[in-house]
Amino acid sequence: MDREKYLSQIDEVIKAGPYENTWDSLCEHPTPKWYEKGKFGIFIHWGVYSVPAFGDEWYPRKVYQQGSKENHHHLEKYGPLNEFGYKDFIPMFKAEKFDPKEWADLFEEAGAKFVVPVAEHHDGFQMYASELSHWNAAEMGPKRDVLGELKTEVEKNGMVLGASSHRAEHFWFFNGGRLIPESDVYEEMGSLEHDRSDEDSAKDSLYWPAAGIMRNHDDLYDNPPTEEFMQDWLVRTCEIVDKYRPKLIFFDWWIQEYKWKPYLRKFAAYYYNRAAEWGEEVAIDAKFDAYVKGSAVRDLERGQLDHITPDFWQNDTSVAKNSWGYTEGNDYKKPSDVVMDLVDVVSKNGALLLNVGPKADGTIPEEDAHILREIGKWLKVNGEAIYNTKPWKIFGEGPTVVPEGSFTDTYQKNFTSEDFRFTCRSNYIYAIVLKWPEDGEIHIRCMGKHQELLKTTIRDIELLGTGLHPSYFRNEALDIGCGKSFDFGDMPAVLKITVE
């Protein structure tokens, strides 16, 4: 593919479309209705890193950091990095049992409304058929267009396809190898002092550009990407848009580095204008302040809010506590913990994007599948409290604090029978009981007769999935007597409150 021609095409599409390359224009782009209503999606981290299945999906970076556990493991199991580097895992990534229909059926069973495969992770190996690089799954490893096959089956099952790009971090991802003379990165890219990244042979390497030194990549001004790399990023990302027409594009964290801003605007204008051509509703997910408020959907990695926000947002998290990709010995969450995170996020005007990490052979681990099926069972009974809902006047009540911020998903919350979350739709309020009381007696304080939050008549209450319409009285609290007959285990229960 001629990159220069593609860059010109990008400019032409922006010039001709309704969205301009300005924050003012991009902030006029609406959040898709399918996204706001769907609430629950599946994220898929699958790539070459699933072959070593050690540490986490950052194995390709950490293996080139001398002294790391990944480095020690690799040297012991595979030998020196100049004889067997990360790229040598690609032929071992065969995906011989990959069945996209089986995956899509499982995601539908889980109750997901959208699916977001990783199109390219930090390692630079594309999981789709690309005309820009031969380091892709259609030409190497599985020799299959993974993203294309998933698109067919996901959309056939009525779900929305998205795609994520983690390409930005590739700029520096392999730079540790430049400090190890006995590594293939060093041989192909040179040392930091004797840089070979401008040579044609280096640009054809999986590892290119392996730029910069080992500094703090959280710094907004540290190790800025080159124009050449950002142009390559833009063309790659627009190729995903044009070939697969995903309705959601997810970006990982490093794009908040200040030099990315013009390219982020340009991509958004291109994507939103393409979607306008297709007559489709689309969204961009981004972290921190990479995109200005109102121009994209805010994403919190493994994180939650402590309040309702008027802007729709997303929590991306994983079934495993320790990794996004498959690793041997993953530390898995309980299904109930994931369901309660979903409930909490939705009550605060958010969506949950839940990640699974398939094995190198293309199978989804049984632990991942079990969690998805348990979520699906709960949603089959209680989904009306999640899908197509809005936050109520307050997100909930109770003594248990959910901390705000990223990387809080492993915080043990220990909900009590006094902890509730609320959603609403039409003339229904859904009171979600996060821990069912042994005596079956429910007391919702904010709905008591002297409270200002509910100044209307309650016509009926139903305990979803049971057929029970319990007795209730509005005293100092809304007191609901459900009896001792029900045991919901560690899953939340839902009271559907019908009001006039």
SS3 for 68-121 is CHHHHHHHHHCCCECCCCHHHHHHHCCCCCCCHHHHHHHHHHCCCCEEEEEEEC
Which helix (DSSP H) or strand (DSSP E) does residue 317 occupy?
A: strand 313-318
Residue 442 has pLDDT above 90, yes or no: yes
Look over the chain and give the mean of its residue pLDDT values, rounded to a whole number.
97
Compute the average pLDDT of residues 241-257: 96
Q: For position 493, what pLDDT does the model report?
A: 98
Residue 192 has pLDDT above 90, yes or no: no
Percent composition of the chain: helix, strand, coil (DSSP 3-state, to 5): 35, 20, 45
Q: Tell me the C-alpha distance between 70 and 64, whole Å.
A: 8
Q: Which token pair is 136?
A: 């892709």
DSSP labels, 340-390: HHHHHHHHTTEEEEEEE---TTSPPPHHHHHHHHHHHHHHHHHGGGTTT-E
Distances (CA, A) of 406 to 216, 306, 315, 334, 410: 18, 12, 9, 20, 11
State the amino acid at position 281 in one-letter form.
E
Residue 213 has pLDDT above 80, yes or no: no
Are 42 and 107 in contact by the 8 Å Cβ rule? The answer is yes
**Residues forming beta bridges with residue 428, ordered by sequence position:** 425, 498
Q: For position 166, what pLDDT does the model report?
A: 98
pLDDT classification of 411: cutoffs 50, 70, 90: confident
Compute the average pLDDT of residues 36-55: 98
Q: For position 214, what pLDDT does the model report?
A: 66
Q: Tell me the C-alpha distance between 256 and 389, whole Å.
A: 31
pTM above 0.85, yes or no: yes
Laid out side by side, the sheet with 428-433 consists of 390-397, 420-425, 428-433, 493-499, 458-463
Q: Which residue shows structure tokens 């904010």?
A: 446
Q: Tell me the C-alpha distance between 169 and 160, whole Å.
A: 26
pLDDT classification of 222: cutoffs 50, 70, 90: confident
Q: For position 272, what pLDDT does the model report?
A: 99
Q: Tell me the C-alpha distance between 36 and 365, whole Å.
A: 29
Using one digit for the tens of pLDDT, what is the confidence trace for 138-147?
Answer: 999 999 999 9
Report the C-alpha dihedral over residues 213, 219, 223, 224, rounded to 10 degrees.
Answer: 170
Q: Tell me the C-alpha distance between 447 and 473, whole Å.
A: 10
Compute the average pLDDT of residues 129-157: 98
pLDDT classification of 221: cutoffs 50, 70, 90: confident
Selected residue with higher pLDDT from 295 and 409: 295
Using one digit for the tens of pLDDT, what is the confidence trace for 358-407?
Answer: 999 999 999 999 999 999 999 999 999 999 999 999 999 999 999 999 99
Compute the average pLDDT of residues 450-464: 96
Q: For position 410, what pLDDT does the model report?
A: 87
Compute the average pLDDT of residues 296-321: 97
Q: For position 445, what pLDDT does the model report?
A: 97
Q: For position 397, what pLDDT does the model report?
A: 98
Q: Tell me the C-alpha distance between 452 and 347, whole Å.
A: 19
